[in-house]
Amino acid sequence: MYFLLCHFSLLEIGYTSNIMPRLLWSLLEGRDFISLVGCAIQFYMFASLAAAECLLLSAMSYDHYLAICHPLHYPVLMSTWFCSCLVIGSWLSGFFFSAFTLALAAPLSLCPHIREIDHSFCDFAPVVGLFCGDVGVVWGTGVSISGFLTVVPFLLIVTSYAFILRVVLQIPPGPGRQKAFSTCSSHLSVVGVFYSTLFVVYVAPTDHMAPWLQKAFTVLYTVFTPMANPMIYGLENHEVRVLFVSSGDSRS
């Protein structure tokens, strides 16, 4: 679990570091421009890390499933080698599929009359809107890959927790059941916040949504969610809670 959390933390750091420094620089300096190469790099890193985060969240749910539903076989089923394969596969899949989408857009030419994107960073839809010609292949491929890398991991998470819930409900009320729920509560909170904001921005109809509201939801899942995740996992960790309480007692 802690090995997966370490990589999840690295993803969150890269996720926000790819967007926030450039956004803060634009707000402080008043320079709301970015080069084409810089925009392509920002989009590539954002798409890769977001896809890798979806896959890693599903790997974490599978880890919980094995720990609760097959506790005696857990050391064998979730070996160091298999856990490393899950993590490496999550990283490589995110970067590979994003590179494939970016490669399809490379031959297209930019529209001369469009010089700006109405967004806070270089996201998929605003970037595709900069190109002229037939962008149907790029758009369809990007939507298909994004849907696959978000919906399939989400279904795996739901399936894992369905099995977990069935096993937990069979445990007699007491410390055992409470410990099982405590093991999953942090991950469920992170998944709920991440996918709910992702759904609002990319799946829910936005035709009648104000542009500023769309940007606000985007900032929510690119800034608030990564900032809230350490607090969610930290406050659910017994050692962190003990340290927090003891530090408060020492100050009082």
Inside any domain, residue 11: yes
**For residue range 101-111, what is the model confidence (pLDDT) as tens digits?**
888 877 777 77
* Alpha-carbon gap, residue 19 to 23, rounded angstroms: 6
The pTM score is 0.82
Inside any domain, residue 91: yes
Inside any domain, residue 56: yes
Inside any domain, residue 201: no
Going 225 to 43 to 156 to 180, the CA torsion angle's sign is: negative
- Whole-number mean pLDDT of the chain? 78
Q: What is the pLDDT confidence band of residue 248, given thresholds at 50, 70 and 90?
A: low
Q: What is the pLDDT confidence band of residue 244, given thresholds at 50, 70 and 90?
A: very low
**Structural domain total, the chain:** 1
Q: How much is the CA Rg of the chain, to the nearest whole Å?
A: 21
Domain extent, residue 133, equals 2-177
Q: What is the CATH number of the domain that holds 52?
A: 1.20.1070.10
* Alpha-carbon gap, residue 55 to 174, rounded angstroms: 33
**For residue range 155-207, what is the model confidence (pLDDT) as tens digits?**
999 999 999 888 888 877 777 677 777 777 778 888 888 888 777 776 655 55
Inside any domain, residue 150: yes
Inside any domain, residue 58: yes
3-state helix, strand, coil in the chain (%, to 5): 80, 0, 20
Inside any domain, residue 192: no
Inside any domain, residue 197: no
Helix (H) or strand (E) holding 171, with range, is: none
